[in-house]
């Protein structure tokens, strides 16, 4: 098909042809299906009946004030309870914040884990703990990108389950959180990062498709040429070098992405009806939630949304009421409804978390500071029982009244929902065995 544009309204058939042309280079679509089969063979058994569950993590970076939203303490002294009032939900006995009125009508779809706590009240370390299940060790440097000492949940999932179809298994948007990396699991399961805000008017995944002027023939030529011109690709010096090796891996993955029609379609948020986009809310959080649903529908196994900034040291109540909570209310509520309407809720686990809760006592700036010891988590779908509250904090919301559970337990539970055995071990490149979910306990009390 000389001269025919490759990228414009491409047919599935064209894609397959490009993929086939690349086969000798090991870059075609067939590679992903091969990987998929290998992964399925490796992890078969118990995992099988659950292996199409996907995970969406809505990470409220900075730290959601759970005492003001999901775990209010109306009877605590005023310096603790804050300004917001609880409202009843569609499940009797469960109350949430008055500024989450839409979410209140979906309480039958989610569970609240109110006895969740950990012990690190610093950004960076707490983020790493929540996003990997592991508290960082000595030498942790939060400003590294990525800073992972342990792999993020998405990388574990990508490693254990492999890609589903031709879309990448693990996607971060609208950026990668610093703790979203693959650590010792390596470049092959690092996230595909969408460095763009799905709410932007011309949103497109940057550089996913070649320029329109490059025909599919020419693209094939170029790729063959690259394989011969790049003398370092298979050389000893690049094999002995981590950075060069991972660049080669990424090049392979890039070609897979480029030749995948599913991937392009999944990222094309403009295909959604305006009415639905409006319901999600025309803001970064809302459109990121919508994008996450599209991606999961297309076969992505884990989407991590990094939404910032929930670090309300100052003017907590106004910032929440006027800015943050309305976005969370439309975005999250519509996501839960939409998954339900598409019968995806059974196959999609949604987890909403910040790195920690916030200090129960309101500070002098009408704000709340960092607080690891109480941090309510919202979970929905994939076998999680709706309309459920597990655990409780004490009367001032300072810490779980009893039976605290922590990040490792949450990790173990998320992996279990996806059919991954949390007790399995990975080996670091040095051969050190590391359990994939610390020593967490599966929180079966959340299950329906």
Partner 1 sequence: MRLVRLVVTVGLVCSLWSGQAVQAADASVTPPSLPPIARLIIEPAVITLDGSGSLVTPLITGEVTADQQIDLTSRAKLESLSPTVFTVDTHGRLRGQDDGTGTLRISVAGKQLDVPIVARNMRLPRQFHFDNDILPILSKFSCNMSGCHGKAEGQAGFKLSVFGFDPRADHQALTQESRGRRINPVVPSASLLLTKASGGIPHGGGVRITKSSEEYRTLRDWIVAGMPYGSDETPRVVAVRVTPHERTLAMRDVQQLRVTARYSNGFEADVTHHARYQSNNEAVAKVDEFGLVTGGDVPGDVAIMAAYLGEVDVFRALVPRSELLTAQSSQPVLNLIDGHIDAKLSKLRIESSPLCSDADFVRRVYLDVIGTLPTASEAREFLASQDKDRRLKLVDALFQRPEFADYWALKWSDWLRVDRQALGHDGAYRYYKWIHDSFAKNVGLDQFAKELVAGQGLLADHPAGHFFKVVKDAGEMSSTLSQSLLGIRIDCAKCHHHPFDRWSQDDYYGMQAYFTGVRFKSTSRGEMLLASAGGVSQNPRSGLKIFAHPLGTSNPEAAPTGDPRLAFASWLVAADNPFFARNIVNRAWAHLLGRGIVEPLDDVRLTNPPSHPELLTALSKDFIDHKFDFRHLLKTIIASRTYQLSAAVTPTNTTDEQNFSRAVLRRLDAEVLLDAICQTTNIPEKFDGVPAGSRAIQLWDSQVPHYFLGIFGRPVRSTPCDCERAGTPNVSQVLHVLNSPEIQAKLTHDAGFLAELAQRPGLTDKQLIDELYLTFFSRYPSDPEQTTAEKYLQAQADKRQAAIEDLAWSMLNSLEFVFNH
Site of interaction with partner 1 (CB under 8 A): 119-121, 135, 138, 141, 143-146, 187, 190, 192-193, 195, 206-211, 213-214, 218, 221-222, 225-226, 228-233, 235-244, 246-248, 250-251, 253-254, 257-258, 373, 429-432
Q: How far is the CB of 365 from partner 1 (least distance, A)?
A: 18
In 149-173, which positions are buried (b, 16+ CB within 10 angstroms) versus exposed (e)?
bbbbbbbbbbbbbbbbbbbbbbbbb
Q: Which is nearer to partner 1, 115 or 348 (CB)?
A: 115
Q: Which is nearer to partner 1, 33 or 238 (CB)?
A: 238
User: What's CA 188's distance to the chain center, in Å?
Assistant: 17
**Is 113 within 8 Å of 405 (Cβ atoms)?**
yes
Q: How far is the CB of 447 from partner 1 (least distance, A)?
A: 25
3 state SS of 311: coil
Q: How far is the CB of 271 from partner 1 (least distance, A)?
A: 21
Q: How far is the CB of 98 from partner 1 (least distance, A)?
A: 30
Question: What's the rounded Cα separation, in Å, for the pair 130 and 435?
Answer: 16
Q: How far is the CB of 139 from partner 1 (least distance, A)?
A: 8
Give the contacts of 411 (CB within 8 A, at least 6 positions apart). 132, 133, 153, 422, 436, 437, 438, 440
Residue with tokens 């529908």: 297
What is the crossing angle of helices 29-43 and 242-258, to 10°? Answer: 110
Q: Which is nearer to partner 1, 40 or 187 (CB)?
A: 187
Q: How far is the CB of 229 from partner 1 (least distance, A)?
A: 4
Q: Which is nearer to partner 1, 178 or 333 (CB)?
A: 178
Q: Which is nearer to partner 1, 86 or 210 (CB)?
A: 210
Cβ–Cβ contacts within 10 Å for residue 272, how many?
16
Q: How far is the CB of 73 from partner 1 (least distance, A)?
A: 18
Q: Which is nearer to partner 1, 140 or 447 (CB)?
A: 140
Q: Which is nearer to partner 1, 188 or 337 (CB)?
A: 188
Q: Which is nearer to partner 1, 102 or 189 (CB)?
A: 189
Question: What's the rounded Cα separation, in Å, for the pair 11 and 303?
Answer: 27
Q: How far is the CB of 103 from partner 1 (least distance, A)?
A: 30
Q: Which is nearer to partner 1, 35 or 344 (CB)?
A: 35
Which helix (H) or strand (E) covers residue 111, if one does? strand 110-113
Q: How far is the CB of 220 from partner 1 (least distance, A)?
A: 11
**Is 6 within 8 Å of 215 (Cβ atoms)?**
yes
Which helix (H) or strand (E) covers residue 279, if one does? helix 274-280
Polymer length in residues for the chain: 448
Question: What's the rounded Cα separation, in Å, for the pair 129 and 345?
Answer: 26
Q: Which is nearer to partner 1, 26 or 44 (CB)?
A: 26
What does the block give as tokens for 24?
Answer: 């000798």
Q: Which is nearer to partner 1, 256 or 380 (CB)?
A: 256
Q: Is the dihedral of CA 267, 271, 276, 277 positive or negative?
A: positive
Q: How far is the CB of 127 from partner 1 (least distance, A)?
A: 16
In 3D space, the residue among 332, 353, 349, 361 whose CA is nearest the CA of residue 406 turns out to be: 353
- End-to-end, the C-alpha distance of the chain in Å comes to 54
**Is 355 within 8 Å of 342 (Cβ atoms)?**
no
Q: How far is the CB of 394 from partner 1 (least distance, A)?
A: 13
Cα dist from 259 to 209, 220, 239, whole Å: 8, 11, 26
Cβ–Cβ contacts within 10 Å for residue 248, how many?
17
């Amino acid at each position: 098909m000389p001269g025919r544009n490759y990228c414009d309204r491409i047919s599935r058939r064209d894609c397959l042809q490009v993929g086939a042309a690349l086969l000798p280079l090991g870059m075609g679509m067939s590679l992903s299906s091969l990987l998929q089969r290998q992964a399925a063979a490796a992890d078969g058994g118990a995992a099988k009946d659950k292996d199409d569950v996907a995970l969406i993590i809505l990470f409220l970076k900075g730290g959601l004030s759970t005492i003001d939203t999901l775990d209010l303490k109306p009877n605590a002294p005023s310096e603790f309870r804050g300004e917001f009032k609880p409202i009843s939900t569609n499940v009797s006995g469960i109350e949430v914040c008055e500024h989450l009125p839409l979410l209140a009508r979906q309480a039958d779809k989610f569970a609240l884990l109110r006895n969740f706590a950990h012990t690190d009240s610093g950004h960076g370390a707490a983020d790493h703990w929540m996003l990997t299940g592991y508290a960082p060790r000595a030498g942790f440097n939060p400003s590294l990108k990525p800073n992972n000492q342990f792999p993020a949940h998405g990388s574990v999932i990508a490693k254990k389950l492999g890609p589903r179809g031709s879309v990448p298994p693990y996607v971060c948007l609208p950026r990668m959180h610093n703790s979203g990396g693959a650590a010792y699991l390596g470049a092959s399961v690092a996230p595909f990062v969408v460095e763009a805000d799905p709410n932007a008017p011309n949103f497109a995944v940057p550089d996913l498709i070649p320029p329109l002027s490059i025909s599919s023939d020419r693209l094939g030529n170029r790729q063959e040429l690259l394989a011969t011109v790049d003398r370092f690709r298979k050389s000893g010096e690049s094999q002995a070098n981590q950075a060069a090796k991972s660049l080669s891996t990424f090049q392979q993955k890039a070609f897979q992405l480029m030749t995948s029609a599913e991937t392009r379609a999944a990222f094309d948020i403009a295909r959604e009806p305006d009415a639905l986009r409006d319901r999600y809310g025309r803001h970064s959080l809302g459109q990121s939630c919508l994008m996450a649903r599209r991606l999961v529908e297309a076969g992505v196994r884990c989407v991590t949304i990094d939404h910032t900034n929930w670090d309300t040291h100052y003017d907590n109540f106004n910032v929440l009421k006027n800015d943050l909570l309305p976005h969370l209310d439309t975005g999250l509520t519509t996501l839960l409804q939409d998954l339900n309407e598409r019968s995806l809720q059974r196959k999609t686990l949604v987890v909403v978390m910040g790195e920690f809760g916030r200090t129960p006592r309101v500070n002098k700036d009408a704000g709340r500071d960092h607080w690891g010891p109480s941090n309510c988590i919202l979970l929905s779908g994939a076998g999680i029982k709706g309309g459920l509250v597990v655990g409780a904090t004490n009367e001032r919301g300072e810490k779980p009244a009893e039976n605290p559970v922590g990040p490792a337990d949450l990790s173990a539970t998320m992996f279990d929902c996806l059919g991954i055995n949390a007790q399995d071990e990975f080996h670091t490149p040095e051969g050190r065995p590391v359990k994939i979910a610390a020593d967490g306990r599966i929180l079966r009390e959340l299950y329906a």
